[in-house]
Chains A and B, each alone.
Chain A
Amino acid sequence: EAGVTQFPSHSVIEKGQTVTLRCDPISGHDNLYWYRRVMGKEIKFLLHFVKESKQDESGMPNNRFLAERTGGTYSTLKVQPAELEDSGVYFCASSQEQYEQYFGPGTRLTVT
Protein backbone atom coordinates (compact mmCIF):
# COMPACT_ATOMS: atom_id res chain seq x y z
CA GLU A 1 0.00 0.00 0.00
CA ALA A 2 1.38 3.38 -0.99
CA GLY A 3 2.03 5.85 1.78
CA VAL A 4 1.39 9.55 1.87
CA THR A 5 3.20 11.29 -0.95
CA GLN A 6 4.10 14.93 -1.30
CA PHE A 7 5.28 16.97 -4.23
CA PRO A 8 7.67 18.64 -4.70
CA SER A 9 10.24 17.44 -2.22
CA HIS A 10 12.03 20.77 -2.40
CA SER A 11 11.01 24.18 -3.66
CA VAL A 12 13.07 27.34 -3.79
CA ILE A 13 11.20 30.50 -4.71
CA GLU A 14 11.69 34.22 -4.41
CA LYS A 15 9.76 36.39 -2.05
CA GLY A 16 6.51 37.45 -3.66
CA GLN A 17 6.16 34.39 -5.85
CA THR A 18 3.50 31.73 -5.57
CA VAL A 19 4.07 28.10 -4.67
CA THR A 20 1.66 25.19 -4.60
CA LEU A 21 2.38 22.09 -2.58
CA ARG A 22 0.56 18.85 -3.21
CA CYS A 23 -0.29 15.96 -0.94
CA ASP A 24 -1.71 12.59 -1.91
CA PRO A 25 -3.04 10.75 1.14
CA ILE A 26 -3.25 7.04 1.68
CA SER A 27 -6.16 5.71 -0.35
CA GLY A 28 -9.35 5.59 1.68
CA HIS A 29 -8.21 7.99 4.40
CA ASP A 30 -10.88 10.61 4.96
CA ASN A 31 -8.74 12.74 7.26
CA LEU A 32 -5.96 14.86 5.80
CA TYR A 33 -3.77 17.25 7.75
CA TRP A 34 -1.15 19.85 6.96
CA TYR A 35 1.64 20.70 9.39
CA ARG A 36 4.65 22.97 9.15
CA ARG A 37 8.01 23.04 10.82
CA VAL A 38 9.87 26.30 10.73
CA MET A 39 13.62 25.94 11.25
CA GLY A 40 14.47 24.85 14.78
CA LYS A 41 10.94 25.00 16.06
CA GLU A 42 8.21 22.48 16.69
CA ILE A 43 5.99 20.93 14.07
CA LYS A 44 2.80 22.93 14.09
CA PHE A 45 -0.68 22.04 12.94
CA LEU A 46 -2.06 24.09 10.05
CA LEU A 47 -5.37 22.52 9.12
CA HIS A 48 -7.50 19.40 8.93
CA PHE A 49 -9.77 18.15 6.16
CA VAL A 50 -12.45 15.53 6.51
CA LYS A 51 -13.03 14.42 2.98
CA GLU A 52 -13.33 17.67 1.03
CA SER A 53 -14.44 19.83 3.97
CA LYS A 54 -12.19 21.92 6.19
CA GLN A 55 -12.74 20.65 9.71
CA ASP A 56 -10.27 22.93 11.42
CA GLU A 57 -8.08 25.62 9.90
CA SER A 58 -7.13 27.32 13.14
CA GLY A 59 -3.43 26.86 12.49
CA MET A 60 -3.28 28.64 9.15
CA PRO A 61 -0.93 31.58 9.68
CA ASN A 62 -2.70 34.15 7.50
CA ASN A 63 -4.74 34.62 4.34
CA ARG A 64 -1.73 34.11 2.10
CA PHE A 65 -2.23 30.40 2.66
CA LEU A 66 -5.02 28.57 0.84
CA ALA A 67 -5.67 24.86 1.15
CA GLU A 68 -8.02 22.80 -0.95
CA ARG A 69 -8.93 19.17 -1.18
CA THR A 70 -10.56 18.36 -4.47
CA GLY A 71 -13.16 15.63 -4.31
CA GLY A 72 -11.83 14.46 -1.01
CA THR A 73 -8.71 13.00 -2.56
CA TYR A 74 -5.46 14.93 -2.93
CA SER A 75 -4.89 18.29 -1.34
CA THR A 76 -3.00 21.40 -2.34
CA LEU A 77 -1.57 24.14 -0.19
CA LYS A 78 -0.91 27.39 -1.98
CA VAL A 79 1.18 30.21 -0.61
CA GLN A 80 0.62 33.51 -2.39
CA PRO A 81 2.60 35.70 -2.17
CA ALA A 82 5.36 33.88 -0.33
CA GLU A 83 7.31 35.66 2.40
CA LEU A 84 10.68 34.80 3.93
CA GLU A 85 9.08 33.54 7.13
CA ASP A 86 7.16 30.91 5.16
CA SER A 87 10.34 28.89 4.74
CA GLY A 88 10.22 25.53 6.43
CA VAL A 89 9.17 21.94 5.95
CA TYR A 90 5.52 21.31 5.18
CA PHE A 91 4.23 17.91 6.19
CA CYS A 92 1.03 16.27 5.14
CA ALA A 93 -0.57 13.43 7.06
CA SER A 94 -3.63 11.26 6.58
CA SER A 95 -5.61 8.95 8.80
CA GLN A 96 -8.71 6.88 9.24
CA GLU A 97 -8.65 7.16 13.01
CA GLN A 98 -7.80 10.77 13.80
CA TYR A 99 -5.14 9.98 16.34
CA GLU A 100 -3.12 7.61 14.15
CA GLN A 101 -1.73 9.84 11.48
CA TYR A 102 0.64 8.72 8.75
CA PHE A 103 3.02 11.36 7.55
CA GLY A 104 4.48 12.09 4.18
CA PRO A 105 8.14 12.92 3.57
CA GLY A 106 7.50 16.64 3.61
CA THR A 107 8.18 19.49 1.21
CA ARG A 108 11.10 21.74 2.07
CA LEU A 109 10.19 25.28 1.06
CA THR A 110 12.86 27.95 0.87
CA VAL A 111 11.84 31.52 0.20
CA THR A 112 14.74 33.81 -0.73
Chain B
Amino acid sequence: AQSVTQLGSHVSVSEGALVLLRCNYSSSVPPYLFWYVQYPNQGLQLLLKYTSAATLVKGINGFEAEFKKSETSFHLTKPSAHMSDAAEYFCAVFSGGYQKVTFGTGTKLQVIP
Protein backbone atom coordinates (compact mmCIF):
# COMPACT_ATOMS: atom_id res chain seq x y z
CA ALA B 1 0.00 0.00 0.00
CA GLN B 2 1.02 3.61 -0.34
CA SER B 3 -0.04 6.45 1.93
CA VAL B 4 0.79 10.01 2.84
CA THR B 5 0.56 11.74 6.19
CA GLN B 6 0.64 15.50 6.48
CA LEU B 7 1.22 16.72 10.00
CA GLY B 8 -0.93 19.73 10.80
CA SER B 9 -4.09 20.61 8.92
CA HIS B 10 -3.46 24.31 9.59
CA VAL B 11 -0.14 26.10 9.85
CA SER B 12 0.30 29.81 10.57
CA VAL B 13 3.51 31.72 9.99
CA SER B 14 4.43 35.37 10.03
CA GLU B 15 5.32 37.08 6.81
CA GLY B 16 9.05 36.66 6.28
CA ALA B 17 9.30 33.62 8.53
CA LEU B 18 10.33 30.12 7.53
CA VAL B 19 7.63 27.90 6.09
CA LEU B 20 7.85 24.20 6.98
CA LEU B 21 5.09 21.82 5.95
CA ARG B 22 5.62 18.22 6.94
CA CYS B 23 4.94 15.14 4.87
CA ASN B 24 5.70 11.51 5.57
CA TYR B 25 4.98 8.76 3.10
CA SER B 26 4.69 5.04 3.01
CA SER B 27 5.41 3.05 -0.10
CA SER B 28 6.56 -0.50 -0.72
CA VAL B 29 8.48 0.55 -3.82
CA PRO B 30 10.58 3.63 -4.61
CA PRO B 31 8.08 6.43 -4.93
CA TYR B 32 7.66 9.58 -6.87
CA LEU B 33 6.70 12.41 -4.52
CA PHE B 34 4.93 15.66 -5.18
CA TRP B 35 3.74 18.83 -3.57
CA TYR B 36 0.70 20.50 -5.05
CA VAL B 37 -0.76 23.86 -4.08
CA GLN B 38 -4.35 25.02 -4.35
CA TYR B 39 -4.98 28.73 -4.15
CA PRO B 40 -8.49 29.86 -3.29
CA ASN B 41 -10.97 29.10 -6.04
CA GLN B 42 -8.31 27.57 -8.24
CA GLY B 43 -7.23 24.08 -9.25
CA LEU B 44 -4.25 22.05 -8.11
CA GLN B 45 -0.90 23.34 -9.28
CA LEU B 46 2.26 21.29 -9.18
CA LEU B 47 4.85 22.96 -6.94
CA LEU B 48 7.63 20.43 -7.25
CA LYS B 49 8.32 16.74 -7.74
CA TYR B 50 10.88 14.14 -6.73
CA THR B 51 11.54 11.45 -9.31
CA SER B 52 14.63 9.68 -7.94
CA ALA B 53 17.20 12.16 -9.15
CA ALA B 54 18.49 14.82 -6.74
CA THR B 55 17.11 14.48 -3.22
CA LEU B 56 16.78 18.24 -2.80
CA VAL B 57 14.14 19.44 -5.19
CA LYS B 58 13.48 23.05 -6.03
CA GLY B 59 10.09 24.18 -7.17
CA ILE B 60 8.24 27.28 -8.11
CA ASN B 61 7.82 30.38 -5.96
CA GLY B 62 10.94 29.68 -3.88
CA PHE B 63 9.74 26.39 -2.41
CA GLU B 64 11.91 23.35 -2.05
CA ALA B 65 11.62 19.88 -0.54
CA GLU B 66 14.11 17.26 0.52
CA PHE B 67 13.56 13.55 0.05
CA LYS B 68 14.87 11.62 3.06
CA LYS B 69 14.50 7.91 2.54
CA SER B 70 15.65 6.98 6.04
CA GLU B 71 12.92 9.16 7.53
CA THR B 72 10.36 8.49 4.76
CA SER B 73 9.83 12.23 4.65
CA PHE B 74 9.41 14.88 2.00
CA HIS B 75 8.96 18.13 3.91
CA LEU B 76 8.27 21.37 2.06
CA THR B 77 10.15 24.52 3.00
CA LYS B 78 10.46 28.14 2.01
CA PRO B 79 12.93 30.47 3.74
CA SER B 80 10.66 33.50 3.83
CA ALA B 81 6.88 33.42 3.69
CA HIS B 82 5.00 35.85 1.51
CA MET B 83 1.37 36.79 1.82
CA SER B 84 0.72 35.25 -1.57
CA ASP B 85 1.78 31.84 -0.22
CA ALA B 86 -1.48 31.52 1.69
CA ALA B 87 -3.09 28.44 0.18
CA GLU B 88 -3.69 24.77 0.80
CA TYR B 89 -0.77 22.43 0.17
CA PHE B 90 -1.01 18.75 -0.65
CA CYS B 91 1.70 16.17 -0.48
CA ALA B 92 1.24 13.20 -2.81
CA VAL B 93 2.91 9.93 -3.69
CA PHE B 94 2.91 7.85 -6.85
CA SER B 95 4.41 4.42 -7.01
CA GLY B 96 4.42 2.21 -10.05
CA GLY B 97 2.78 -0.67 -8.31
CA TYR B 98 -0.42 1.27 -7.74
CA GLN B 99 -0.48 3.42 -10.87
CA LYS B 100 -2.29 6.22 -9.09
CA VAL B 101 -1.53 9.27 -7.01
CA THR B 102 -2.36 9.14 -3.31
CA PHE B 103 -2.79 12.47 -1.57
CA GLY B 104 -2.40 13.62 1.98
CA THR B 105 -5.23 15.45 3.70
CA GLY B 106 -3.75 18.85 2.96
CA THR B 107 -2.30 21.66 5.05
CA LYS B 108 -3.77 25.15 4.97
CA LEU B 109 -1.06 27.74 5.25
CA GLN B 110 -1.96 31.10 6.77
CA VAL B 111 0.52 33.96 6.47
CA ILE B 112 0.16 36.66 9.09
CA PRO B 113 1.25 40.18 8.20
Contacts and interface: CB of A to CB of B under 8 A. Distances in A.
A103 B43 contact: yes
Contacts of A55: 99
A22 interface: no
- Determine the interface band of chain A, counting residues with CB < 8 A from chain B: 20 to 34
A5 to B, nearest CB: 10
Contacts of B101: 33, 35, 45, 93, 99, 101
A4 B44 CA distance: 11
A56 B43 contact: no
A99 B32 contact: yes
Contacts of A59: 100
A1 to B, nearest CB: 15
Interface of A: 4, 33, 35, 41-45, 48, 55-56, 59, 91, 93, 98-106
Contact of B102 (A45, A48, A104): A45
A102 B49 CA distance: 12
Contact of A41 (B32, B99, B100, B105): B105
Interface in B23-75: 32, 36, 42-46, 49, 51
Contacts of B105: 41-42
Nearest to A101: B101
Contacts of A104: 43
A29 to B, nearest CB: 14
Interface residues of B, number: 19
A91 B94 contact: no
Contacts of A106: 43-44
Given A42-B105, A98-B94, A99-B94, A91 B44 contact: yes
Nearest to B106: A42
A98 B51 CA distance: 12
B100 A33 contact: yes
B89 interface: no
Given A99-B32, A99-B94, A48 B99 contact: yes
Nearest to A59: B100
A42 B43 contact: no
